């Protein structure tokens, strides 16, 4: 498969999973977390899927399109090892969804970050929250959710807390 085909499939899977997660939490109050703002495409998509819902974003640095940068009150800037604990202190375990887009191209580093997140995410997620991720975030207490039709196993991941 070409790299172009691979990125198209990844983005289609991401869109399908985000849509499924948004439908799953539609009646639940609470914020959404976007771990990995990047260029802001998924943040922008989440705003369209869930208008009016608070979305808190995390990234090391701002590299997003100017129209896709959250206000300072919704942006946690810096290393996740510092910003996610700060978010836990500020928000508590209130988020009903987290999109974890942490793939860096370095497979080992991405897997290590996913493993670290397993211990930290429960501090910011409400019971029953949905986690959508590009990398495995294997938590023994969470339940794997069925992926939307057309999303290949391993292409994207969905779990219920």
What region, left, alpha or beta, does residue 137 occupy, with left being phi > 0 and alpha being psi -120 to 50 degrees?
beta
All structural domains of the chain, each given as residue ranges with its CATH number in brackets, are 3-160 (3.40.50.150)
- The whole-model pTM stands at 0.92
**How sure is the predictor about 103, in pLDDT bands with cuts at 50, 70 and 90?**
low
Taking 90 as the threshold, does the pLDDT of residue 109 lie above it? no
Taking 80 as the threshold, does the pLDDT of residue 104 lie above it? no
State the chain's maximal CA–CA distance in angstroms. 44
The per-residue pLDDT for 101 is: 87
Average per-residue pLDDT for the chain: 92
Q: Considering Cα of 66, then 72, then 75, then 78, what sign does the dihedral take?
A: positive
- Mean pLDDT computed over 45-51: 96
The per-residue pLDDT for 117 is: 86
What region, left, alpha or beta, does residue 73 occupy, with left being phi > 0 and alpha being psi -120 to 50 degrees?
alpha
Of the ranges 17-26, 76-85, 107-116, which one carries the lowest mean pLDDT score?
107-116
Q: Considering Cα of 114, then 118, then 124, then 130, what sign does the dihedral take?
A: positive
């Amino acid at each position: 498969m070409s790299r172009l085909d691979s990125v198209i499939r990844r983005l289609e899977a991401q869109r399908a999973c985000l849509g499924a997660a948004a439908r799953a939490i539609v009646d639940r109050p609470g914020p959404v977390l976007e771990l990995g703002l990047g260029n802001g495409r998924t943040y922008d998509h989440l705003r369209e899927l869930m208008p009016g819902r608070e979305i808190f974003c995390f990234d090391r640095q701002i590299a997003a399109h100017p129209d896709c940068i959250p206000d300072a009150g919704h942006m946690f800037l810096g290393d996740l090892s510092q910003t996610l604990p700060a978010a836990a202190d500020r928000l508590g375990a209130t988020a009903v969804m987290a999109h974890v887009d942490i793939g860096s191209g370095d497979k080992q580093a991405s897997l290590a970050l996913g493993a670290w997140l397993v211990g930290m995410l429960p501090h910011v997620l409400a019971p029953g929250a949905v986690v959508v991720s590009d990398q495995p975030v294997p938590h023994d207490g969470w339940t794997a959710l069925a992926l939307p039709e057309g999303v290949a196993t391993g292409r994207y991941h969905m779990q219920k807390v």
